Structure 1
């Protein structure tokens, strides 16, 4: 049972879904609430200790594992982004 639900399988699944969501998110207009929240820089002070990672930092780490050239340009093209995101699966 553990083999089916190990941490690496779950983390890879989350990473794939995050990257699949990145394409539609990038194609949204700047006025969309979801896009504003995803790329917003938080205001105010952070708590003590190690800060939580921002969405952008997590995405950059995901993209660094399998470098995608010009990901913003490719994300604007729906069929190209679908092809790229299938490479991750």
Structure 2
């Protein structure tokens, strides 16, 4: 009897959409932070690392970076805008001006 109540409340209140939006925007903030780091820092090395082996057969896996690229495309953010911190923060805000 209790199993469907929480999910129906979340669906009616759009909480899941809000949480996913917050996570996407926080990912953008972190991406800009890491891209501005110097090249010898480990987070930047990990972000730009390309594995030497071949990938497995089948559909490519959904990665964190592909999610960031999708969010950037949805919000009309250019790849090199992370260099300007003020512009990047304005683009990563929750409410975006039309």
The TM-score normalised by the length of structure 1 is 0.73
Q: What is the aligned residue count?
A: 86
5+ long unaligned stretches in structure 2: 1-8
Matched, 1:86 2:93: yes
Q: Which has the higher contact order (CA 8 A, sep 6+)?
A: 1
The TM-score normalised by the length of structure 2 is 0.68
**1:53, CA displacement in angstroms?**
2.2
**1:52, CA displacement in angstroms?**
2.2
Q: Which residue of 2 aligns with 1:41?
A: 50
5+ long unaligned stretches in structure 1: none
